[in-house]
Amino acid sequence: MQLFKTDIFDQKIQLYVKVHYIGNSSVDLHYMAIDEKEEIALTGRGRLVFVQAESGKPISLEQSIKEKLANA
């Protein structure tokens, strides 16, 4: 995460999230927060990995989920 400002904690922000990449068992997300002055306050990225609860091992995303994420 890249923090552009440190005074955003007392403000309302608009948070934008987009799917950047859809893998076999993971989704890469990008984030951007806009502050009350309509300036970029922070950006970031994260990866969600889908795992099987019992084994803790990654599992493939169903095609229907991939399609929904691609069209979000």
In this structure, are residues 29 and 45 in contact, taking their beta carbons and an 8 Å threshold?
Answer: yes
Question: What tens-digit pLDDT sequence spans the chain (72 residues)?
Answer: 666 666 667 788 899 999 999 999 999 999 999 988 999 988 999 999 999 999 999 999 999 999 999 987
Q: DSSP H helical segments within 1-72, as ranges?
A: 63-70
pTM metric for this prediction: 0.77
- Domain membership of residue 47 as a residue range: 2-70
| Number of domains present in the structure of the chain | 1
Query: CATH code at 31?
Result: 3.10.129.10
Q: Which of 57, 13, 67, 65 lies closest to 39 in space, CA to CA? A: 13
**To the nearest whole percent, how much of the chain has pLDDT over 90?**
72
In this structure, are residues 29 and 20 in contact, taking their beta carbons and an 8 Å threshold?
Answer: yes
Q: What is the DSSP letter of 9?
A: G
